[in-house]
């Protein structure tokens, strides 16, 4: 019996139309083929054209699968990258400066207030009131 996905429920149901098995019924054995040899990056495999390689200093990074180079990075983004990659023993969420420190402390305060609220709610429901 053949099955198909129902368009309404998304579950497997018995096929409503007649389906015949795929031919040939007996599968043909696959032919043995040697795997392709691994070719490492060489000059004749490079996707960088000669004109784009000579126009700017340094290697150009290309968008994968294309011959199009990435857009140039803005100077402010480069400065922010240097700031966040600096090894100054600060966690990443505090490397943005004093504003990040204020946001971190405010978030921790909200977490503590939320936990106190949860504890209060549990206490209210667990302990009956005196009448």
Does 10 or 29 have the greater pLDDT score? 10
Does 1 or 8 have the greater pLDDT score? 8
Q: Is the pLDDT of residue 81 over 50?
A: yes
Q: Quote the CA–CA distance of 33 and 35 in Å, as a whole number.
A: 6
Both structure tokens of 34:
């040697």
Predicted model pTM: 0.45
Q: Are 104 and 93 in contact (CB under 8 A)?
A: yes
Q: Is the pLDDT of residue 44 over 60?
A: no
Q: Is the pLDDT of residue 23 over 80?
A: no
Structural domains of the chain sorted by starting position, each given as residue range(s) with its CATH number in brackets? 73-126 (4.10.91.10)
Longest Cα–Cα distance in the chain: 90
């Amino acid at each position: 019996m053949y099955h198909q996905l129902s368009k309404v429920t998304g579950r497997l149901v018995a096929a409503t139309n007649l389906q015949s098995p795929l031919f040939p019924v007996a599968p043909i054995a696959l032919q043995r083929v040697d795997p392709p040899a691994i070719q490492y990056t060489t000059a004749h495999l490079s996707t960088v054209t000669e004109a784009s390689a000579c126009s700017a200093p340094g290697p150009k990074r290309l968008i994968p699968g294309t011959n199009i180079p990435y857009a140039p990075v803005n100077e402010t983004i480069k400065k922010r990258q240097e700031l966040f990659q600096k090894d100054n023993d600060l966690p990443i969420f505090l490397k943005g400066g004093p504003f990040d420190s204020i946001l971190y402390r405010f978030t921790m305060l909200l977490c503590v207030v939320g936990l106190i609220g949860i504890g209060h709610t549990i206490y209210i429901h667990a302990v009956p009131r005196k009448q």
